[in-house]
Amino acid sequence: MIDHEYFMSIALEEAAKAYDEGEVPVGAVIVYRNQILATGYNKVEQLKDSMQHAECVAIRSAAKKINNWRLNGAILYSTLEPCVMCSGAIFQARIAKVVWGARDLRTGASGSWVDLYSLKHPLHQVESLGGIKEQESASLLKRFFELQRKGGICCE
C-alpha cells in the first residue's frame, strides 16, 4: 500500500525549501516502488527560467539518476496541481500517476483550469489524484503570496 500522505509530506518539505529561498513554494517527489527516486522544488527565480517548476526539476533529477527519460511506473507527488507544461513533461516521462495537493485555478491541468488527465492519450494514460494534504499546501502558498503583497521577504 502506498502512503500518499507520507510522500506528500516530503513534497511539502521541498516546498518549504522553495519558500525559504523566495520561490513560489511548490515541492515535488518522484516515487518508484515505494522508494523516493528524486525530489525537487521551484527554482524559477533562482535560475531565471520559467521551466524550472518543481515537477520538472524532479523529473530531470529522476531521469538523470536512472539514466533513462522513461519513468514508467513512477508516481509524482506535487504540492500544487501541475500546470499544462508540467503535465506535458509528466506525460512525456511516462509517469503512471500524479498526486497533488492544492488546486491551481489559474493554470491547473487536472480539472481546475483544464483537464488533460481525462483525455485519452494515444500512447500513455496518467492517473491523477488531487487534494492530498490540500490545506497544508494551500496554506504555505497563501502565506507566501501574502508576504509578497506586503513587500516582505519570504523567509522565516
Residue 156: predicted pLDDT: 44
- Please give the model's pTM, rounded to 2 decimal places: 0.93
Query: Active site includes 55?
Result: yes
pLDDT tens column, 27-58: 999 999 999 999 999 999 999 999 999 999 99
Q: Compute the radius of gyration of the chain from its Cα atoms.
A: 15
Out of 14, 23, 55, 81, pick the active-site residue. Answer: 55
Question: Is residue 74 scored above 50 in pLDDT?
Answer: yes
Residue 152: predicted pLDDT: 61
pLDDT tens column, 114-145: 999 999 888 889 999 999 999 999 999 999 99
Residue 153: predicted pLDDT: 57
Contact partners, residue 71, CB within 8 Å, separation at least 6: 30, 32, 37, 59, 62, 63, 93, 94, 95
pLDDT bin (cut points 50, 70, 90) of residue 154 is low
pLDDT bin (cut points 50, 70, 90) of residue 73 is very high
Contact partners, residue 86, CB within 8 Å, separation at least 6: 53, 55, 56, 78, 109
Instruction: In whole angstroms, give the CA distance from residue 131 to residue 4.
Output: 11
Better-predicted residue by pLDDT, 95 or 1:
95
